[in-house]
Amino acid sequence: MSDQWRTEWSRHYDQIQWRAITIFTGVVGVLLAYSYRQENTEFDPVVAFLGLWLTWLTIYYVASCRELRKVLHEGLCGGDERDFLLNENQEKNQKRVLWQWPAFLLTFILLTIGWLWQFWRHGSRAWAVSLAIVFVVGVPIIWKRGK
């Protein structure tokens, strides 16, 4: 695969990733706002599970797109473009220091905490604790894949 094709595929994955982030974040935000408006008697755990699942699906999807892009970038033949994309072989004062992945992951961790709080607040403490354990175990795995 030529460098031009790798660059085009990288751009393609990047565009798909940002479109998915926009759509999923909007849907998750609407579901979370809807869930917070409900009283204790009207709490719908199905909505909360759907919102939590979409939150985690977004994280997984973005991590997989980042992983695919990294594979494409590692295959570039060399030169300044490869070094810039992988943040390698650059002088210390030229390396990028603001990374998108930690900020993105932190945002979705906060959304997950919002969902877990909904379960806790509405008396589903066992579900909240169980899902929190799954989340704590899953974050390091996702962190490594997306980095």
Look up the domain containing 113 and give its range: 3-146
| Overall average pLDDT of the 48-59 stretch | 88
pLDDT over threshold 60, residue 67? yes
Show the tokens assigned to 12: 């393609």
d(CA 105, CA 14): 17
> Taking Cα atoms as reference points, which of 63, 54, 27, 68 lies closest to residue 112?
54
CA distance 24 to 59: 10
Query: Rounded to an integer, what distance in angstroms lies between the CA atom of residue 46 and that of residue 51?
Result: 9
Residue 17, pLDDT above cutoff 80: yes
Cα distance between residue 9 and residue 3, in whole Å: 10
**Residue 9 near residue 72 (C-beta atoms within 8 A):** yes
pLDDT in the model for residue 23: 92
For residue 34 the two structure tokens come to: 């809807």
Dist CA 45 CA 35 (whole Å): 9
Tally the domains of the chain.
1
Q: What is the tens place of the pLDDT at every residue in 92-147?
A: 556 665 577 788 888 888 888 888 888 888 777 777 777 888 777 777 777 776 66
- How crowded is the C-beta side of 25, counted as CA atoms within 13 Å? 14
The pTM is what? 0.71
Query: What DSSP assignment string belongs to 91-123?
Result: -GGGS----HHHHHHHHHHHHHHHHHHHHHHTT
